[in-house]
Structure 1
Amino acid sequence: MKLARLLVLSRVALLPALMWSAPGVCEPRPPEKSEALSIANLVEAVKDSVVNVDVQARAPSAEGSGDFFEKFFGMPNGSGGSGGLGDSETRQRIRQGEGSGFIIDANGLILTNNHVVEDAIAIRIRLNDGRQFDARVLGRDPLTDLALLKLQGDVKNLPVARLGDSDAVRVGDTVVAIGNPFGLTSSVSAGILSARARDIQSGPYDNFLQTDAAINPGNSGGPLFNDRGEVIGINTAIVGGGSGIGFAVPSSMAQKLLPQLQKGQIHRGWLGVAVQDLTPELAQALRVPMTQGAIVTDVQPGTPSADAGLRRDDILTAIDGKPIESSRALTREVGFRQPQEALTLTVYRDGKSRQLKAKLGERPDLEGNASAPPPEARAADSGRELGLSLREADPRLTPGVKGGALLVDVAPGSPAERAGLQPGMTIVEAGGKPVRGAQALTQLLKGQKPGAVVLLRVQVGKSRLLRALPIPAGS
């Protein structure tokens, strides 16, 4: 995203004013200098837990649509770096991006946004103290825009940000955002929590915190702190046009998903029922005494909802005694429970409240996210002599190819670099044989005799190219 212009915001000092007061009315006393409010101590305590996330990623085939709600990956639209690839199409499709994240475990776990690392072929983390680490994706969830990364190498005793209780924060409470907008490392902004439970139509589980703290492209994935230095949100989206309205994923949502993100797979509960909000007008038309809940508009045969005995026009008002205020609230409550979990539904039907027992199924992949599983997180190093780092190819990047090995790194001056191999290429054939995966290619290369030359067929975008990789003596 190109920065078209810089808006310089001036802060208007609030000067003490002389004002008349009635006898007996206490005027507020101007704070002494030592009492002046400042977030400097808070920032000093937490800033080292915030990191830069530098990403080399495969760009989508279509450019951004300029939607009202902008994801801020921090990646130039239509003019990013190519990662040194020679193919003209690849130069358009391999981009350099930048976002933010924060450390949640001293051994190197980083929480960030899914859209920051989606389609990444290489991730580099830069700490506030100057250290840098490669990182791999442990797990990601497009539906909540969260991702968990693991630093590689000798990682220990890192500064950690504490996850707080986003349910306890109130509208009007002070919040602080720290991140890397436009590459400006460790930038701090402050504001208030402007609203809760915002639905910005980005997914089925929207429940965003809204803030007026200044956040910009590059802040994406960074933390939103409360006044105790606890993370209560993960900055995710902004309203276009520089209006100063930003949104963050609540920390309570992240905490629920962390165990699954660590395992690399997300499983969600599912009822198999279509619902809509119960409005005051519908409540009057249906002659029901409540004004909040979720009206059942359809029950799919053979689903947990049908097995539980739900019917059309039932009004769901609670799950396990927890009130359900809307259809969105029902979707979130069910979606953050596990498949096979038993629950009690409170339903209003025929003028009476009743309870139904249900056992959740597993939510199908309605958005198509699971149809192309993420690349294997663990990269295979084919050997220092060749200078290749590989991992399993992502089928989304090589349609029609079964298997393949994605090239994620090439050592400078190595035989791989001299052969014209570059990060982002997918090796689909080696020595005339299909490549079934990163480990299979690694074994094939290690089995070659010194001095041999292996003919590789690589895919770059929609094009296929040949590369001759020499096997050096002593490899």
Structure 2
Amino acid sequence: MRRSVVSYSLWLCLTALLMLGQTAQAQNLPDFTQLVEQAAPGVVNISTSRTVQRSGPDIRGFGGQDIPEIFRHFFGDNFPTPPGQGGRERSEERQSLGSGFVISADGYVMTNAHVVQDADEILVRLNDRRELPAELIGSDQQTDVALLKIDANNLPVLNLGNSDDLKVGEWVAAIGSPFGFDHSVTAGIVSAINRTLPSDAYVPFIQTDVAINPGNSGGPLFNLDGEVIGINSQIFTRSGGFMGLSFAIPINVAMNVADQLREDGHVNRGWLGVMIQPVSRDLAESFGMENAIGALIADLDPEGPAAEGGLQAGDVIIAVNGEEVDRSSTLPRLIGRVAPGSDVSLSVIRDGEEVEETVELGSWPESEQAGAERGANDQARLGVSVGEVSDELKERLSIDGGVEVRQVESGSVAAEAGIMPGDILVSVDHRSVSTADELAGIVEELPSDRAIPVRLYREGRSLFIALRLE
């Protein structure tokens, strides 16, 4: 009996210690209730609508009479077109949902550019259930940032933080409207910072494991102080839903863009005028470099700032104003955030030695398709770097244009499709390609909802391949 009492007492002590441990652990977890109470009023729901013209079969019967309802029940709009009768154009309204947040009491709202792209009408629904039409002040596709204006005053404004102070492992929270469920809150940690995604060379993304789904786009990402440190923008998914990888635009980058949109309606970026490609291990060894870092200049615009500043093809840029260029995709981001007309100091590997060059940046050409430094990076959406085709090869293949694939990134869209170094790309999506600039422009406009035909020459033979952008 005595032993039983002792055993029971010991069990009670162990249970109490376990509960105390669980309580202490729970107390160490962040509490987001106050953050949500303070921040939620400044988060908005954004809905857009646009009208598109769509061609389809004429579902009227012979003699122009409407098809009976019984046939509509079975065939819907896919009723076969009678002989001799063509299709017809019809209007279709498409709607989309997203999120945003208030950055000024007089009605300025920030969101993603893709949330409001091509919208005919934009409505902002506030926390107090008011729905107000919004004017698009400007949007920047390169950073996926858009600035809206609604006619309202004394709006609740969110506090903005400093995304440069963000550290991996920090707790963060998102508020948005996934699938239209207003003011949903999710939380997680910062998984990585300064992530460069293949299709976005100008944004050092914040990677998190915060659950983000369609409708969260454009909503704020908060730190534990309730400050906005990012705009939720993208997810990596194979299923169409959240899979643990979400990406946010740092608020410092977004506000720089928003300030320019408010003042000028567009964004001014520095322009270097080079075509770049990644530095492989073999190339690094051939250039006398210990590590495969930097951006290799494959070609220059002869009238661009880089050429005028003394840069040469074969130079490897390893730093901009003292900030390391760890990979080729970093260079456009560092150059793009410097104002045109400013001098930049470039650390360059040339003939095995490091030299310093100072270049005055130009302004982006009037056409956003131009600009050779986009060569490997707008084309990074494909994962290729390209160069000119020699006149001798053009004559041998009997072609007028085309670009030669110099390098294909492992695991890229191009690699998955089977594109190889040495291939000559002559058309993409049935559009002829003659220069790297043309390819950059075409790639930027490619849709991601269907397979894209690519015609190329390989070992003197013409063939088509299909690629699908993620």
Q: Which interval holds the TM-score relative to the shorter structure?
A: 0.5 to 0.7
Matching residue within 231, 235, 244 for 2:232: 235
Match of 1:31 among 24, 48, 63: 24
SS in structure 2 at match of 1:199: strand
CA distance in 2, matches of 1:346, 1:309: 13
Find the counterpart in structure 1 of residue 187 from structure 2: 190
State the Cα deviation string for residues 310-335 of structure 1 (Å, max 9, x = none). 01221212222222222111111111
For the 8 Å contact 2:53–2:91, the answer to whether it is kept is no
> Residue 270 of structure 2 corresponds to which residue in structure 1?
269
Amino acid at match of 1:362: S
Distance 1:247 1:338, change over 3 A: same
- Structure 2 distance, partners of 1:333, 1:199, is 12
Q: Give the match for residue 136 of structure 1.
A: 135
Query: CA shift at 1:339, angstroms?
Result: 1.8
Gaps of 5+ in 1: 1-16, 22-26, 63-78, 80-86, 369-475
Structure 1 residue 31: Cα displacement: 2.0
- After alignment, is 283-292 or 239-248 more displaced? 283-292
Shift of 1:160: 1.0
After superposition, the C-alpha distances for 1:345-372 in whole angstroms (9 at most, x for unaligned) are 222222332222211112233449xxxx
Cα distance in 2, alignment partners of residues 90 and 189 from structure 1? 40
Alpha-carbon distance between aligned partners in 2 of 1:330 and 1:250, rounded to the nearest angstrom = 17
Shift of 1:162: 2.1
Q: In structure 2, how many angstroms separate the alpha carbons of the residues matched to 1:88 and 1:44?
A: 52
Q: 1:138 to 1:325 in 2, by over 3 A?
A: same
* Equivalent position SS for 1:120: coil
In the alignment, is residue 204 of structure 1 matched against residue 201 of structure 2? Answer: yes
Is residue 105 of structure 1 aligned with residue 104 of structure 2?
yes
Alpha-carbon shift at residue 101 of structure 1 (Å): 0.2
1:251 and 2:244 matched: no
Deviation at 1:276, TM superposition (A): 2.3
2:145 corresponds to = 146
Say whether the 8 Å CA contact 1:56–1:95 is kept in structure 2: yes
Aligned twin of 1:47: 40
Aligned to 1:176: 173
Task: Spell out, residue by residue over 1:191-240, the C-alpha distance to the aligned partner (whole angstroms, 9 max, x if none).
Answer: 11122233332233243222221111111111111111111111112223
Q: Distance in 1 between matches of 2:40 and 2:118?
A: 28
- 1:178 touches 1:223 (CA, 8 Å); kept in 2? yes
What is the Cα deviation at residue 188 of structure 1?
Answer: 0.5
- Partners of 1:295 and 1:32 lie apart in 2 by 50
Unaligned runs of 5+ in 2: 1-12, 56-76, 78-86, 371-470
Task: Using the aligned pairs only, state the percent identity.
Answer: 42
Structure 2 distance, partners of 1:323, 1:156, is 44
Instruction: State how far apart, in whole Å, the 2-side matches of 1:304 and 1:275 are.
Output: 14
Change (3 A) 1:213 1:362: same
- How far apart in 1 are the matches of 2:27 and 2:195? 38
CA distance in 1 between counterparts of 2:290 and 2:201 reads 28
**What is the aligned partner in structure 1 of residue 284 from structure 2?**
283
| Paired amino acid for 2:345 | T
CA distance in 2, matches of 1:287, 1:137: 51
| Counterpart position of 1:8 | none
Q: Secondary structure at the match of 1:162?
A: coil
When the two chains are superposed, the root-mean-square deviation of aligned CA atoms in Å is 2.8
State the distance in 1 between where 2:182 and 2:189 align.
22
With over 3 angstroms needed to count, the CA separation of the structure-2 counterparts of 1:289 and 1:245, relative to structure 1, is: closer
CA distance in structure 1 between the partners assigned to 2:313 and 2:36 by the alignment = 53
Q: Which residue of 1 aligns with 2:116?
A: 117
Q: What CA distance in whole angstroms lies between the structure 1 residues aligned with 2:109 and 2:52?
A: 23
Q: Structure 1 residue 295: deviation in Å?
A: 1.7
Kept in 2, the 8 Å contact 1:167–1:252? The answer is yes
Structure 1 pair 318/361, CA: closer, same or farther in 2 (3 Å)? same
SS at match of 1:331: helix
Deviations 1:392-432 (A, max 9, x none): xxxxxxxxxxxxxxxxxxxxxxxxxxxxxxxxxxxxxxxxx
Name the amino acid aligned to 1:257.
Answer: V
1:217 aligns with 2:214: yes
Which residue does the alignment assign to 1:351?
352
User: Structure 2: how far apart are the matches of 1:49 and 1:268?
Assistant: 30
Partner of 2:332: 331
Show the 5 A alignment for 1:69-108: 89-92=89-92, 94-108=93-107
SS at match of 2:186: strand
Q: How many angstroms apart in 1 are the aligned matches of 2:14 and 2:356? A: 63
Q: Are the counterparts in 1 of residues 54 and 90 from structure 2 also a CA contact under 8 Å?
A: no
Partner Cα separation in structure 1 for residue 303 and residue 91 of structure 2: 49
Distance 1:51 1:88 in 2: 39
SS in 2 for 1:105: coil
Output the CA distance in 1 between the equivalents of 2:229 and 2:325.
23
Closer, same or farther: CA 59–41 of 1 in aligned 2, 3 Å: farther
Distance 1:18 1:237, change over 3 A: farther
The one-letter amino acid of 1:197's match is: N
Between the two proteins, the alignment pairs up a number of residues equal to 320
Q: 1:250 offset after TM fit, Å?
A: 1.6
Q: Shift of the alpha carbon at 1:280?
A: 4.3
Higher helix share: 2
Offset at residue 29 of structure 1 (A): 7.4
Aligned pair in 2 of structure 1 residues 288, 254: CA closer, same or farther (>3 Å)? Answer: same
SS in 2 for 1:47: helix
Q: Deviations over 1:7-60 (max 9, x none)?
A: xxxxxxxxxx969x9xxxxx9674298776411011111111100111112459
The answer to whether the 8 A contact 1:177-1:225 is kept is yes
1:110: Cα distance to partner?
0.4
**Residue 214 of structure 2 aligns to a residue in which SS?**
coil
Name the amino acid aligned to 1:199.
Answer: T
SS in structure 2 of the partner of residue 167 of structure 1: helix
> Per the alignment, in what secondary structure is the counterpart of residue 116 of structure 1?
helix
Query: Is residue 59–residue 119 contact of structure 1 (8 Å, CA) maintained in 2?
Result: no
User: Which residue type is aligned with residue 256 of structure 2?
Assistant: K
Aligned CA distance change for structure 1 residues 291 and 261 (closer, same or farther; 3 Å): same
Cα deviations across residues 257-304 of structure 1 (Å, max 9, x unaligned)?
122111211221111111223344432232124542222221221111
Q: Distance in 2 between matches of 1:276 and 1:349?
A: 16
Q: Provide the C-alpha distance between the structure 2 equivalents of 1:102 and 1:60, rounded to a whole number of angstroms.
A: 32
Query: 1:43 is aligned with what amino acid?
Result: V
Supply the AA of the counterpart residue of 2:318.
Answer: T
Contact 1:276 1:326 in 2 (8 A): no
